[in-house]
Homo-oligomer: A and B are copies of this chain.
Amino acid sequence: MAGKIRVTVWNEYRHEQNNEDIAKIYPQGMHQAIADYLTATGNFEVQTATLDEPDHGLTPEVLANTDVLTWWGHMAHGDVRDEIVDKVVDRVLEGMGLIVLHSGHFSKPFRRLMGSSCNLKWREIGEKERLWVVEPGHPIVHGIGEYIEIPNAEMYGERFDIPAPDTLVLVSWFQGGEVFRSGCCYHRGKGKIFYFRPGHETYPIFYHQGVLKILANACQWAAPVAGPDVVFGNVRPIEEIAEA
C-alpha cells in the first residue's frame, strides 16, 4: 500500500448523547477516542461517521475512499438503513476491511456477512476480563503481551453463534465463569473482517492502550490488497477442447 491507510471510524453515537455518565467518559463520542489514537500512530488517515448524519455518514464517496471501516453500534442497530448496509457489505466483498467492535456483533453488516445469528450470552456487572493471545505470530498481536486485562467489562460468553473464524487470535476469560472468542479474523469476498470484543460504552475501554494497539494492528491487517479483479459469469475455455 502506498501512503496511509484510510480509516473511517463509524459510531452509532447515541449513548454518549443520551446518557450523562457515558458522556463524561467519551465527551466527543467513542469514535473520537478511537480516531485520536489511530491518527496519533501516524499510519492512518482517519475520518469519523455517525448514525444521525445523512446516509449515516457513509455516502458513496466516503465508502469509496475508505480502506478500513470500524463499526460500533448497540441500541440502534435497527435504525441503520438497509440500503446503506447493502453498500457497506458490497464494499467489504470488494476489499474494504471491516473491524466490528463489541456490541457490533448484532449490527446488520456483521450479521449479513456472517450469515448466522451472532447471538451470545451477556452480563453487565463490571467484572474482570482477560483476553489471552492464542495465535502469537499473528500481526494483530504485534506489540501485545500474553494477555490484556480489562478491569471492568461487560461479559460476553459462549456459545457465540458465529462461523468458526479463519483465524482465532484471542480468547477471553471472565471472572463470572465464561469464555469467549474475542478476536476473530475472516476473509469475506476480497475483504477482511476482524471481530474484536472489547468496547462497552459504560467503561473507558477505548482508552485502554492494549485494546487500542490491537485495534490499530487490525486496521493494518484488514487494509485492502491489490489482489486479482475477479471476472464472474460466463467465460470461454482457456484450453482448446476438441469436438467429441
Contact = CB atoms under 8 A, between A and B. Distances in A.
A122 B231 CA distance: 11
A121 B143 CA distance: 21
Contact of A116 (B93, B126, B135, B164): B93
* Contact residues on A (Cβ < 8 Å of other chain), bracket: 35 or more
Interface stretch (A5-13, A21-29, A172-180): A172-180
Interface string A208-242: 00000000000000001111111111111111010
A141 B126 CA distance: 31
A117 interface: yes
Contact of A179 (B127, B171, B175, B192): B171
Given A225-B138, A238-B178, A146 B115 contact: no
B116 A189 contact: yes
Interface stretch (A34-42, A47-55, A152-160): A152-160
A145 interface: yes
A113 B115 CA distance: 4
A84 to B, nearest CB: 17
A62 interface: no
Interface in A160-189: 160-161, 163-164, 166-168, 171-179, 181, 186-189
Given A173-B177, A192-B137, A228 B159 contact: yes
A132 interface: yes
A134 B157 CA distance: 10
Q: How many copies does the complex hold?
A: 4
A189 to B, nearest CB: 5
Given A133-B228, A176-B238, A228-B144, A189 B138 contact: no
B130 A235 contact: no
Contacts of A145: 228-229
A227 B140 CA distance: 8
A120 interface: yes
A219 to B, nearest CB: 14
Given A136-B159, A146-B231, A176-B237, 9 more contacts: A93-B117, A112-B115, A114-B115, A122-B233, A130-B177, A136-B227, A138-B227, A144-B228, A164-B168
